[in-house]
Amino acid sequence: MQITEKIFGTLSDGRDVKLYTISNDNMSFSCTDYGCTLTSIVLGKEKKTDVLLGFSTLDGWLNTKFCFGAIVGRFANRIGKASFDLNNKTYELDKNDGPNTLHGGFEGYDKMLWSSKIVKDKNTAGVTFTRLSPDGEQGFPGNLELSVTYLLDENNNLNCIYNAKCDQDTPINITNHAYFNLAGKGSIYNHLLKMNSSYRLDVNSKLIPNGNILDVSGTPFDFTQEKAIGQDIAKVGVGYDHCYVTEIYDPEKTQTAVPLSDDDLVEFCTVKSPETNHEMTVFTNMEGCQFYTGNFINGIIGKNGDHYKNHGAFCLETQAFPDSPNKDEFPSSILKAGQLMKAKTIYSFKIN
């Protein structure tokens, strides 16, 4: 395992931004302390494929609103009406998605510089990023201590570990917003996807869940058997942007959406590119995963001057159910004061 570190750029206030690259014999990934962002995942030894969309320079990430490869929070996805009630108090949030809050609001974690430290042991290498989200940031209660670790092992597993602790009860939902294309370019229509998920959350026209959980059988949302992402995409509007239910969720049990142990993970899905034969499997201990097909990235100029188009990437954002602070029927996403959240997702690659 090899690790390199260099200066990626400088912010307007003079602070340097670092870029780390971690590699084994078959693949590498790069990440930066600006937004805890995964900037690349390169598969292969001789013929290399970068399977992440993004930018060639720091300026691209400074000037985008699309969170390419970045950490989003304090609450990823949407909170309806940009408010929630907790402990007999109403908290008002940013309305940055129509009347709703998306990915924490106007000042997202993707636009913040984090502290960073290289971590390495016998079998893994990577980087841990930390920051304190102060009480009232984005409108949320409590001083939240955050830790995000990206670790690569020799078996081509990229581990994403999200830990958090707060001095007050607070909603929390941390995820990575990587845009994947296992062919490295072009559309994702011919990518083959299989999900271990028979259910998705029903949403209104603003993509806010209404509390219902729908069976996907016989619908365009059904990926229980492997099929091309593009096969039914025209039947769901502009594309997929829906939260699927993982096997972590058990409707027969009272449960919390905040994982306090990362011992048990479930396999959520596998995606393959027929063009490169690269394959990615996603494991998680979260009960939801937002499947998004890059529906609004048309015209963005990305890495090496590539002009991105809608449906040129897919996101698999493991998370708590959207709007769960306002949905008593959903597992609670409230991290209790003093508790340690231990969320974990693994992107496991089979490389041609």
Q: What pairing do the DSSP bridges indicate for beta strands 16-23 and 27-32?
A: antiparallel
Q: How far is CA 280 from CA 41, 110, 137, 205, 276, in A?
A: 12, 24, 35, 31, 12
From 137, 191, 242, 317, active-site residue:
317
State whether residue 14 is helix, strand or coil.
coil
- Kindly report the backbone phi and psi dihedral angles of residue 110, in degrees, each rounded to the nearest multiple of 5, phi listed first: -70, -15
> Own/partner pairs for 163-166, CB < 8 Å, 24+ apart?
163/340, 163/341, 163/342, 163/343, 164/335, 164/340, 164/341, 165/335, 165/338, 165/339, 165/340, 165/341, 166/142, 166/335, 166/337, 166/338, 166/339
Q: How far is CA 225 from CA 228, 235, 349, in A?
A: 10, 18, 20
Cβ atoms of residues 55 and 128 within 8 Å: no
Residue 92 annotated in active site? no
Cβ atoms of residues 143 and 113 within 8 Å: no
d(CA 103, CA 77): 5
d(CA 254, CA 237): 34
Residue 317 annotated in active site? yes
Neighbours of 198 (CB within 10 A): 16
d(CA 191, CA 271): 7
d(CA 226, CA 308): 26
From 177, 191, 242, 278, active-site residue:
177
Active site amino acids: 177, 317
